[in-house]
Amino acid sequence: MITTEAVKRVRQRTYAAVLMDCQMPEMDGLEATRVIRRKMVDSDTCGLPIIALTANVTRGYREECLAAGMDAYLAKPFKQKQLARPTEKDGSRAPADERGCVG
C-alpha cells in the first residue's frame, strides 16, 4: 500500500499499531507519520503506535524517525518477536505530551 493510502486508512479506521515503511515512492514514511500525527492531535486520538520499518541503519536515522513522531524503530530484516516490544531492546521512544501524543 502506498503511504498516502496508509494515511487515508488511519483516518478511516482504528488500528492497534502502524508498521511504517520509511521509504515509499509517493510520500516517505517520515512525512506520512507527520501527517498522521497532525491529524491525530486534531482528533485527540493520538495513542496509536507508529513503528518505523527500514533498511536504513545509518547513524542518526533512528533519531530522525523518532523526531518525525514514530514511537519505535525496527531495522529490516527483523524477527517477529521484535514486534511484541519494539522499544524494549534500545529503550528509545519519541517524547510524548501529557495526553500521550507524540510529535
Instruction: Mark out the alpha helices in the chain (DSSP H runs).
Output: 3-12, 29-43, 61-67
Dmax (CA) of the chain: 35
Q: Is the pLDDT of residue 86 over 80?
A: no
**Residue recorded with cell 512525512:** 31
Residue whose cell numbers read 498522521 = 36
Q: What is the pLDDT of residue 48?
A: 84
pTM for the full predicted model? 0.73
pLDDT of residue 11 exceeding 60:
yes
d(CA 100, CA 95): 9
CATH number of 3-81: 3.40.50.2300
